[in-house]
Structures are given as C-alpha cells and as structure tokens.
Amino acid sequence: MNKYPYRLYVMDVSYFSGKMEAYLRYKEIPFERVEPSWGTINRVLYPNTGLMKVPVVETAEGLWLQDSTPMIDWFEDRHRDFPVLPDDPCQAFFCRLLEDYADEWLWRPALYYRWAFDIDARLDSARFLHDFLYDTTLRGPGQAFFVRERQRRLYVRGDGVTAATRAHVESVYRDTLVRLENILAEQPFLLGQAPCLADFGFFASMFRHFATDPTPARIMRDTAPGVYAWVARLWNSRGARLVREFQASERRTDAGAQHVWPAPGVLPRGWDAVLEDAGSAYLPYLLANAIAWREGRRTFDFTVQGVTYRSVPTVQYRVWCREQLQRRLAEIPAASKPAVEQRLQRHGCLAPLQAEGVIASHLHDGASPPVCTPTSVGRFDLLWRSITGTHWHKPGQQRPPR
C-alpha cells in the first residue's frame, strides 16, 4: 500500500461506486482511487473478494472489503466524525430502510434506462470497453455489441422487463423523482441540513445512471431540477465544511450532527410517499423473492401495483437484505419500537416485512461482511469468469442448502 490508508477500486459506470466514493469524500476519509481493468478485476479483485464487482476497498492492513452497505457501517464504526446515521433509533431505522429501497428497487429502472434505449446503450457499451478493457485489444464494434446484448439479456429481458411491464418500470423512476423533488424543496438533503445514509442510497442510481445516461438525465433535468442540483450538492459535500456553514448560519458553537437533522422521532413529511412505495412494492417483492429462494426456485412471478412481472431471477443477496432489515427492526430499543412499528404499519411496510418470519439467505454463513476471505482461484474458473463475470451471486452460493 502507499501513503493512503485505503485503496478504493471503482468504475465511472458503476452504480455503487459513486455511492461509496461520495460517502468517503463527504467523511473526508483519505483514499487512493483506482479504476481497475478487466484483467485486474480477474486477477486481483475476484480472488480477494469472490466477486468481479466494484466498489472494493483494500485497507493498509491487507483487509479486503466489499458491498457498499456493510462497508459504510464498517467505516462509521472507525471514523466517527460527520456520522450519516442519527442516534435516534427511529430515524436510523428508516434511513436504513430507505437506503435499502433505493439500492435495490431502483436497480431495475437504472439498468433498464441504460440498456433498453439505443442512444444510452451505445454510449455506455463504448464507456464499458474504454474503462474495463483498456489493457486489451477487445475494443471493437463486435465487442460493444456483445456487451449491449449481454446487459440486455441479464438486466432488461432477464429482469422481467417486457412490453407489459415497461411502463411500470419507467413509473418507478419518474415517481421517485417526484418524491425526492418534494423532499428537497424543503431542505438541502433528505433528512435535513446534512446527508444521511438514505442520501447515499439514492445517490447510487441518481449519480452514475439517471443523471448521466442521456435518456433519464433529460427526464431529471426537465422534471426534477431540484434532484439534479442535489446530485451535485451531495458530490460536493464535505463534513467539516458543512458543519462550519451550519454553525455560522445558526450561530451555534457545537458541531454535533444531530442538530442538522429533525428532533428525535421526527421524519420529513415527504418521506411518507417513499414509505408508501416501499410498502406497496419493494417489501412485497422482497417477500416473494425470499419465498422463492426458500423453495429453491430460480425465478418467480410477482404482481406489484397491478402489474405482473414474470420469471424474474431469485436473488440471494436480496434475501439477505430482508434479513438485515428484520434484524435492525428487532434491535430497536423497546422504548422506540412501538412508534417505528406504527409508522411501518401505517404505510403498509410491517406486514410484508414480518410475513413468513426470517427466511435465511445463508449468503454470509461463516463470514463477517464487509470483510472478504481471499480464496484460491483455478485457471479454468478464472477463464470462465473472465467470459461470464459473476452475476447476482458468489460462485457456489446460488441455491439454498437442503
């Protein structure tokens, strides 16, 4: 390692890279930024993390960290300045719920807008070749076509996007812009005067996809300029500077982050609409996905807001996401839990979150995310993964144990 305590592997086209980079920038945690080639992803990241994905963090002590949500928790434990989670258990839980919603539910429209429209797909396939394959000769039009077709097969057609569901996928994005625009009309960040975990969750798709790819970017500029401004504002935010500005504007001398957020137990009124979306769509989807996982089905059908998606992939990681939300809810102190559960029930979130109890994902059995366990990778596996990549799952963990 060099003079930096952390090395962050990211790509400019990556959904979660922007989220992780913006978080470290805001926290003012020193890091070296590395854009890995496809060869580096194969030879370095895959053996050390088990996935061919970014963002990945390598620490000065030789630890390898992967997955933005547990990585942020890991950094919050070690870098206490400018926290992104409130001390208030109610606000902290709903920040986590909105982050999870933004991370996973906006994935489908983000990938759809990138690969379903020709102008976006051609631009991003060219960016993909430029960013990933700069150390190879595989950068011609044939390879670009292969990239476009692979992404459409996996993330558009393969994720349930059809003529029957297309309008609904587009509505998820457009409705989210409305929700965020309403919140940001009253305050600079989603919870108040400083970024919280939910900001970074929504930033993942809004920064690298919706505000960058031509088709969704035009929609954002035309219909939600406040969101467009928030994207730049969050990218430019630094904890120390924000606290100084808040102190000056409020004539305060304390630097506590809690003062930049509402009083304990209070959420911005604009959050209600997002929670309604979570209760009517995302949490029922997580439940259906978890049941399909438990039953060993590779795909499943589910109906959401009057639209039926057919043969969507069963995603082990999202079974784990549901487990984590259930665990966080169970950990809320007794004094705060009734208010949290009442709000969840009011927005239709409690029933799908609790139904069927805890369905085990077994995603991290014997592991402690975000810390990865390096493994030996054979030549054949390395060759195969260099062609196919790693999709939703770690190799060998695609099915629940019997």
Q: How far apart are CA 27 and CA 56, in angstroms?
A: 17
Q: How far apart are CA 13 and CA 11, in angstroms?
A: 5
Other C-beta atoms lying within 10 Å of the C-beta of residue 125: 23
pLDDT along the chain (402 residues), means of 10: 87 95 98 92 91 95 97 98 97 98 98 97 90 64 86 95 98 98 98 97 98 98 98 97 82 59 96 98 98 97 96 97 98 98 98 98 94 84 66 52 52
Other C-beta atoms lying within 10 Å of the C-beta of residue 303: 12
Let me know: does 133 contact 140? Beta carbons within 8 Å.
no
- Where along the chain do its domains lie? 6-80+366-388
**CA dist 296 → 15, 353, 379 (Å):** 28, 20, 30
For the domain bounded by 6-80+366-388, which CATH number is listed? 3.40.30.10
Burial bucket for residue 63 (CB in 10 Å: 0-12, 13-18, 19+): middle
* Nearest in space to 97 (alpha carbons), one of 326, 391, 306: 326
DSSP secondary structure string, 76-122? HHH--SS-SS-SSHHHHHHHHHHHHHHHHHTHHHHHHHHHSSHHHHH
Structure tokens given for 397: 């963990």
Q: How far apart are CA 166 and CA 179, in angstroms?
A: 20
Report the pLDDT value the prediction gives residue 232, as an integer from 0 to 100: 98
